[in-house]
Every structure is written in structure tokens, then in C-alpha cells.
Homo-oligomer: A and B are copies of this chain.
């Protein structure tokens, strides 16, 4: 919608590429801004294929579902407004059977009432406070991120870091104790309890298997120096 700033068109296109969207339609862009955005270094290829339309009606003519976006409270609540998290889920369910158009307003004025009248409902980005609007490129990135969201990802633990085995942990403990003995850290009177403390400390470190040879190498070197 009538973007004035080529950086915003470029940032929007980049976010589309980041999240796997490909069809960009631009409504009545300022000529210079659109030309600059297309020719920017590193412009996403989808920007070169962007389609230009004179009006919102033309741009969304073939889309059964048109969603307007906003980050500010709307003056007149003539449209159902859904929070981004909820609205994106509704859109994901409609896709890919139903073509969905996401409509963003210009940096300066947002979507006009005429633009809004083409929308079936609105999606609101849940910012704190409603007085500060969002940067256009950031709003596009958030909406597409949420649309591309895999609902299971929040519970999907990353691949576990392979932890050191108990045997490896004990190897480290033994060598550390050696070094502590050599350096006079361990007092004969309290040697027993100190050993236990050190053993527990090594367990708390949550050493990964990959780090075992590194730690052993360090301790070996320190021991060598202590003994020489």
C-alpha cells in the first residue's frame, strides 16, 4: 500500500524469502521507491517478480480471503480483530486450499477505511501499548514468522548434547584431585570431605562428552607442570 520507502519494500521482500513466501503484490507504490527497491543489492528475486496494482480491489480480486494487519487499536471496530497468534492459526488452516491475501498499510498512514473495507477480518500484532505503531518491515516479518510457525516447535527439544559418561566424569575428577593434591589445596585432615565436594562439583558442571578430552588435556598439562 503506497509505500514511500524502498527500504521497507526490500525488507518486506527479504522477510518473505526468509519464511518461504513468494507472491508480493504492491499497490500504487511510489514509482521511485519501487524502482529503487527492485534494483537494491541483494534484493530477493521475488521482488523482481512483484506485481503492481493500481488499487486494493485489483490486487485482491482473486483472493477468497483478505486479512488486514494492524499494530494499533482501530478507531472504529467495524471488523473482527484477531490477535496475530490466533489469526495466523486460522489462516494456516485455510491454506493452501484458500488463497489468502495479507494486506499491509503504508508506513505513514496504515490502512485507510477504504482499504479496510476489502478485508474479511483484521489481525493485530500484540504490541504493548497501542500508541507506537510498528515498523512496516518488522510487521511483515512478524506476520510471516507466525504464519510459517510450526506449533510443535515450542515443545521440540533440541538434539540433546551428549553428556560425559560417569566414567569420563570420574576420570576428570581423579585428575583434578591429583592436581589439587599436588598444589596443596587438599588438607590431609579434611581430604575425605574435600574429595566428595570436588566429585559433586564435577557432576554439577554438566560436562559434555566432546569436552572430556579437552578438559583432560588441560589437567594433564597442569599436572605435568606441577610435578616438574
Task: List chain A positions with a Cβ less than 8 A from chain B.
Answer: 7, 11, 14-15, 17-20, 44, 71, 80-83, 85-86, 89, 125-128, 132, 134-135, 137-138, 141-142, 145, 148-151, 153-158, 161
Contacts and interface: CB of A to CB of B under 8 A. Distances in A.
Contacts of A135: 11, 14-15, 137, 141
B138 A126 contact: no
B134 A14 contact: yes
A138 B11 contact: yes
B20 A85 contact: no
A154 B81 CA distance: 14
Contacts of A20: 128
A132 B16 CA distance: 11
Nearest to A7: B7
A228 B142 CA distance: 55
Q: Which of A81, A82, A137, A154 has the most chain B CB atoms closer than 10 A to its own CB? A: A154
A145 to B, nearest CB: 5
A127 B7 contact: no
A18 B125 CA distance: 10
Contacts of A142: 141-142, 145
A128 B148 contact: yes
Contact of A127 (B19, B82, B153): B19
A81 B11 contact: no
A174 B160 CA distance: 66
A1 B5 CA distance: 25
Contacts of A7: 7
Contacts of A134: 14-15, 18, 141
Contacts of A19: 127-128
Contacts of A157: 86
A138 B86 contact: no
Contacts of A161: 80
A86 B150 CA distance: 11
